Structure 1
Amino acid sequence: MTVTSLAPAPARTAKYRVTGLRVLRSEWAKFWSLRSSWITLGVAVVLLIALGAIASATYSPGVAAGGGPPGGQGSGTQDAVSLALLGVTFASLAVGVLGVLLSAGEYTTGMIRSTLTAVPRRLPVLWSKAAVIGPIALVLTTIGALAAFQLGTLGLDGEKIALSLSDDGVLRSLAGAGLYLGLVAVAGVALGVLLRSSAGAIAVLVGVLLILPGLASLLPDSLYDTINPYLPSNAGSAMYALHESSGALSPGAGVAVFAGWVALSLAGAAFRLRGTDA
């Protein structure tokens, strides 16, 4: 008899391809595993609801509200929608910071090297981050805007400016606020990838949304009147204004202009992500 030794069969290893769906699922898991995601989203929604409800409850005819961004186009005649959306400016800072942390945070911790090793083509990482945070911010802040408006109707009961959801333009304005905040979150992701610094990207975000309109007012009047409606924060405020102010963009034009600014920031982020090392 001859003894025959049988070699063990080679183990079969599963080969996984990097696909857009798998990258998206990875970024989804990263997003919800971060405590900062829950906290910052909660802060954005609470600010949106609380400030809108307080503004409506304390409304007095003839007293101007501080709604809209500084130098913005949405600070004209008061109405129930402008009061309910008083917290949009502050909520935009919260969701913008969240977008920055989602992208620039990986550069701070060094995790971006592992991410780009797993996804060598790089750009799917950027698109997936934007595709995760944009819809989440849009849905949650739209719900927050609806809640702020509904709570505001209690404080405005009997007032001339009181409105209901069935009135013309109300739902469009509330949905426009959610869309604006969703786009701000995507812009935060783009700035984080472009600048690769959380502090730097947050500073640019705050400067563009809050400081730039004030600086633009120092320009000659003719030039200021020309460019002012196209500044990011002013185009964004036109997206959710119930009534179109004199010299402001229409809601549709506001969407197009602000989305163009966001697309430009994403293009810059994509160019640097492809062209430079992490």
Structure 2
Amino acid sequence: MTAAALSLPRKRVSLPRVVKSEWIKFWTVRSTVITLGVAVLLLVGFGLLASSLYGTPSQGGPPGNEPTDPVGASLTGTNFAQLAFGTLGVLLMAGEYSTGMIRSSMTAVPKRLPVLWAKVAVFTTVVFAVALAASAAAFTFGQMLIEDGASWSDPGAARAVIGTAVVMAGVGLLGMGLGALMRSTPGAITTLFGVMFLLAMVAALLIPDSWGDVVQYLPSNAADAFTAVEQGEGMLSPGAGLAVFTGYIVAVLGAAAWRVKRSDV
């Protein structure tokens, strides 16, 4: 090492510097931009398609999950976008373990946890902003295609649009936490999709009617309760749905932090 290099001041590792590093890494991976673009196309594209077909016999939307209100029609692409944002969350964390890049990150930040919190901060900021713009576009332009469509001032409409962005970011954080826990991209993606899409259907089939209230506390149902314009029978209130969904995120990220701190890379 040269004398000039030795004379350079050493900067202390701080959370803002770690966040800046993670921000650079986030945008230098090609899959990030591709996945974000796919998520936006799914959210807006399916929303516009369902809005154009709303109220007709050939109404759009996922089978068995047809929208029953104009706001729900324009946000039909939510479930599809969750697949993309959830995958991005898994890749952001588990991808570094599969490539071995995580060793460099942890060597540069020996305390380890700032790396996780920096990833969470960067991911949440970007995904929430992108998802909010996409959901707002899907709602605004979708309602233009619906006769007597809803407006932003209608009860529950703004909450549904903003809540969609919150749920998108939340699903991605669940994916990130599972990626840190399992350190396997296929395993984490499979687990995330099973929890968010299959668990509620299986529970509805297997859980006795006397235990039916349990189903409303599952992650996907809690998220739906938060974004629903009208609360259906057996649904949590919007506030309770948000609290339950947030609880799952905190629990998974807490477990991920424990493993990142205690386990070998």
Which amino acid letter does the alignment assign opposite residue 192 of structure 1? G
| Contact 1:23–1:124 (8 Å) recurs in 2 | yes
Give CA-to-partner distance per residue, 1:75-128, whole Å, 9 cap, x none.
Answer: 587111100111101101100100100000000100111110000101111111
Any stretches of 5+ residues in structure 2 without a counterpart?
Answer: none
Distance 1:183 1:97 in 2: 12
For residue 157 of structure 1, report the CA deviation from its aligned partner: 2.4
Distance 1:113 1:58, change over 3 A: same
Distance 1:13 1:165 in 2: 55
Give CA-to-partner distance per residue, 1:160-181, whole Å, 9 cap, x none.
Answer: xx21112222111100001110
Structure 1 equivalent of residue 110 of structure 2 = 120
Structure 2 equivalent of residue 85 of structure 1 = 75
RMSD: 2.0
For residue 129 of structure 1, report the CA deviation from its aligned partner: 0.6
Which amino acid letter does the alignment assign opposite residue 157 of structure 1? E
Structure 2 equivalent of residue 272 of structure 1 = 259
Distance 2:252 2:138 in 1: 30
Distance 1:98 1:274 in 2: 23
Distance 1:9 1:243, change over 3 A: closer
2:122 to 132, 137, 158: 132
Distance 1:269 1:10 in 2: 37
Structure 2 equivalent of residue 221 of structure 1 = 209
2:84 to 77, 82, 94: 94
Give CA-to-partner distance per residue, 1:135-179, whole Å, 9 cap, x none.
Answer: 211111111111111221222124xxx211122221111000011
> How many matched pairs?
262
Any stretches of 5+ residues in structure 1 without a counterpart?
Answer: 1-7
Structure 2 equivalent of residue 53 of structure 1 = 48
Structure ranking higher on relative contact order (CA contacts 8 Å, 6+ apart): 1
Please tell me whether Structure 1 or Structure 2 has the larger radius of gyration of its CA atoms: 1
1:232 to 209, 219, 223: 219
Distance 1:253 1:124 in 2: 30
Give CA-to-partner distance per residue, 1:179-230, whole Å, 9 cap, x none.
Answer: 110111111111111110111100001100111011102121112x121111
Structure 1 equivalent of residue 30 of structure 2 = 35
Distance 1:23 1:95 in 2: 23
Q: Secondary structure at the match of 1:168?
A: coil
Which amino acid letter does the alignment assign opposite residue 222 of structure 1? S
Distance 1:30 1:172 in 2: 32
For residue 31 of structure 1, report the CA deviation from its aligned partner: 0.3
Structure 2 equivalent of residue 146 of structure 1 = 136
| Contact 2:23–2:122 (8 Å) recurs in 1 | yes
User: Where is the helix percentage greater, Structure 1 or Structure 2?
Assistant: 2
Structure 2 equivalent of residue 3 of structure 1 = none
Distance 2:105 2:237 in 1: 41
TM-score by length of 2: 0.93
Q: Secondary structure at the match of 2:7?
A: coil
Structure 1 equivalent of residue 247 of structure 2 = 260
Distance 2:6 2:175 in 1: 45
Distance 2:194 2:112 in 1: 28
Structure 2 equivalent of residue 4 of structure 1 = none
TM-score by length of 1: 0.89
For residue 274 of structure 1, report the CA deviation from its aligned partner: 1.1
Question: What fraction of aligned residue pairs are identical, expressed as a percent?
Answer: 45
